[in-house]
Structure 1
Amino acid sequence: MSSSAKEPGLIRFVMIGGFLGAGKTTTIGRLAQHYREQGLNVGIVTNDQATDLVDTQLLRSQGFRVGEVAGACFCCNFNELTGTVEKLSAHDRPDVVIAEPVGSCTDLVATVVQPLVQMFDAHFDVAPYGVILKPSHGLRILQGDDNGGFSPKAAYIFKKQLEEADFVIINRIDELEAEKVETLAGLISGEFPGTPILRTSAKTGAGFDALVELIDQRGEFGKKILEIDYDVYAEGEAELGWLNSSLKATAEQAFDLDAFLMAIMSGLQETLAKSGAETAHLKVIGLWEGFYGVANMISSDTEPLLSLPSNCQAKEADVVVNARVGIAPDELRRQVDAAIEAAAKSLGVFVQRQQTQYFRPGRPVPTHRFSDAK
């Protein structure tokens, strides 16, 4: 590995991948704050198959400039990715752009990194591509226990994400026993020998200095072109029901916003468990006059967590729910609606729905795919 200063005039492009619920948004928020404290202008680009993304709302609430590429993954909407960066540059050109791809996507070196390197080398200085490993599913998938509760096709995507990484980040070490962290590291090294492994906690900042140091490296990176079966990839991604829903919550008397968010999560945990549906990620954000709270659940065998408390009582709030679950989309919508209604009833809240999108992701069709790395 080699390190050198950023070339004048180029935007440093940092992409952090990883499976749904791996902790990409928290990591990117911490990374963006680091660069901001260094006096750099930072732009963030989030990505989803639909609009109303919790991650976008959260990062904007933290004061970051965020563009959103919605309707398809970066690889299938490459021109929108570069166009969004141009929009971020229109007012105050960023020194660094941090991109968060859809958590069910892979083959990003061939379809995003290499197109940037080979077609936009006059605009971007592309950083090493890091992928965050999600311990809750990663341990089960890499041990071959049960594919993490998913089918082999969905687990295929998970492994391909790790295979193309320049480095792998074991996140949430604050929540894991040291022995389990080393077990994960051993499994990664065994399956992907030679790939650097970092141990971090996006929540506490543990291991963050090493992450920044690695991202700042320059050298032979972004060249792991995958051999990938797009039929398996498409079928694995399509197993997930996908839902984004936005609503307005109001009440005559002030209600506990955090309790409302957690009631939605707990209700979904209960009903999805009865359905035997594996959760890839559930996330809900509530916003009111500068306050924001986030609750999430990252797998079927973990408890819902109030990851960012708002600590506020409100008479109204904007709420966004994102759900990625191994279940039919119409059934997912029914369960989400029921959980929202039950949570609202328990706290005396009136809910006005604004927009709901629910579907299975379509087959990925990349705008560009480079079979040879530069």
Structure 2
Amino acid sequence: MSTSANETGLIRFVMIGGFLGAGKTTTIGRLAQHYRDQGLNVGIVTNDQATDLVDTQMLRSQGFRVGEVAGACFCCNFNELTGTVEKLAAEDRPDIVIAEPVGSCTDLVATVVQPLVRMFDAQFDVAPYGVILKPSHGLRILQGEDSGGFSPKAAYIFKKQLEEADFVIINRIDELDAEKVDLLASLITEAFPGTPILRTSAKTGAGFDALVELIDQRGEFGKKILDIDYDVYAEGEAELGWLNSSLKATASEAFDLDAFLMAIMNAMQKTLANSHAETAHLKTIGLWEGFYGVANLVSSDTAPILSLPSNCQAKEADVVVNARVGISPEELRQQVDDAIDAAAKKFGVRIERQQTQYFRPGRPVPTHRFSAPK
């Protein structure tokens, strides 16, 4: 780092935003590993409207120290965010904290960055705020062809996230041809002139050095205060059904954990397609004795992928499913339950359901909001 957290005496606070399914968790995991390899203590804070978050489980499985702010977004639960950092610091004060906000959240500069800068300047050194562009929905939304399968109100959140960014990351370049990446970059420049654009792959590490270099910069950042309509914002968030579910899968004979996770994703893709419901993000993790696998579905027009294979056969596993879909929470729960049951039948697995939360997010009410930058 150009000026390390150790030299400043402050905790370097890095927040990476982006829409549901943009690749925030994979990016944050790679960043955390980079700083850890430098000999720095790293803490991670994940965020969700509910408990049982795949992201938290996955990052902890990689050996990172992770705190979770559950039940509300960072902006609406700001004191819990700072309190979670204090808990991470209780045992071993981190040099860097990397925060992952809820993927349907925006206005984070006014409600998180500025409060940290103004109220906690003796504790935190705040990095430039980067937002990851999700190509699968971003191309459709920025071209103005439609709302990426969502309503205009949900697309409003997507665009506001990009508007407040100090820099935008085009992720998944390993999955896109160069022409499409160039098109995305030109659309971002047209909509948000002057905003730096990075091209990366969180999966392969392509473009990662440039990302680290930009995050490590000091200067006039975190000052893009949005002119935002909270009625539209709230209605856009509330159009998504949210579900977090945890369960234990057991079998008398060892089963392929990765194939089981993919079976859940494939079944979900089919049922959601039949319902004409747009997927913001579906993800599931399976954990067994230090092994873990993760499967994702990030939009209705892409295929499910096994993003992190466990490569293991297991007789039991803890499984967490997170779903964010443009459908009613009740219907979403039924479809998730049916997909799990179908996968269990296929693999001869018994399911013990432990906890399921399903709902629509409530209206965001920030703890603090500054209408002008410091």
Distance 2:258 2:44 in 1: 26
2:102 corresponds to = 102
TM-score normalised over the length of structure 1: 0.99
Distance 1:261 1:183 in 2: 34
Distance 1:9 1:122 in 2: 9
Q: Secondary structure at the match of 1:47?
A: strand
Amino acid at match of 1:239: E
2:182 corresponds to = 182
1:53 corresponds to = 53
Distance 1:290 1:106 in 2: 35
Distance 2:66 2:3 in 1: 27
Deviations 1:247-305 (A, max 9, x none): 00000011110111000000000000000000000000000000000000000000000
Deviations 1:318-366 (A, max 9, x none): 0000000000000000000000000000000000000000000000000
Q: Secondary structure at the match of 1:195?
A: coil
Deviations 1:26-47 (A, max 9, x none): 0000000000000000000000
Deviations 1:184-223 (A, max 9, x none): 0000000000000000000000000000000000000000
1:86 corresponds to = 86
2:296 corresponds to = 296
Deviations 1:50-93 (A, max 9, x none): 00000000000000000000000000000000000000000000
Identity of aligned residues (%): 88
Q: Secondary structure at the match of 2:77?
A: helix
Q: Secondary structure at the match of 1:145?
A: coil
2:208 corresponds to = 208
| Cα offset, 1:8, TM superposition | 2.6
| Cα offset, 1:5, TM superposition | 4.6
Matched, 1:316 2:316: yes
RMSD: 0.9
Amino acid at match of 1:119: M
2:62 corresponds to = 62
Matched, 1:227 2:206: no
1:21 corresponds to = 21
Amino acid at match of 1:32: A
2:242 corresponds to = 242
Structure 2 matches for 1:39-188, cutoff 5 A?
39-188=39-188
Q: Secondary structure at the match of 1:296?
A: strand
Distance 1:373 1:30 in 2: 30
Q: Secondary structure at the match of 2:50?
A: coil
Distance 1:244 1:122 in 2: 36
Q: Secondary structure at the match of 1:332?
A: helix
| Cα offset, 1:9, TM superposition | 1.8
2:260 corresponds to = 260
2:273 corresponds to = 273
Distance 1:118 1:372 in 2: 11
Distance 1:145 1:79 in 2: 40
Q: Secondary structure at the match of 1:272?
A: helix
Deviations 1:204-248 (A, max 9, x none): 000000000000000000000000000000000000000000000
Q: Secondary structure at the match of 2:287?
A: strand
| Cα offset, 1:310, TM superposition | 0.5
Distance 2:119 2:13 in 1: 14
TM-score normalised over the length of structure 2: 0.99
2:373 corresponds to = 373
| Cα offset, 1:372, TM superposition | 1.4
2:350 corresponds to = 350
| Cα offset, 1:4, TM superposition | 4.3
Gaps in structure 2 of 5+ consecutive residues: none
Q: Secondary structure at the match of 1:353?
A: strand
Amino acid at match of 2:204: T
Structure 2 matches for 1:357-368, cutoff 5 A?
357-368=357-368
2:218 corresponds to = 218
Distance 2:15 2:223 in 1: 14
The number of residue pairs the alignment matches comes to 373
Distance 1:136 1:318 in 2: 30
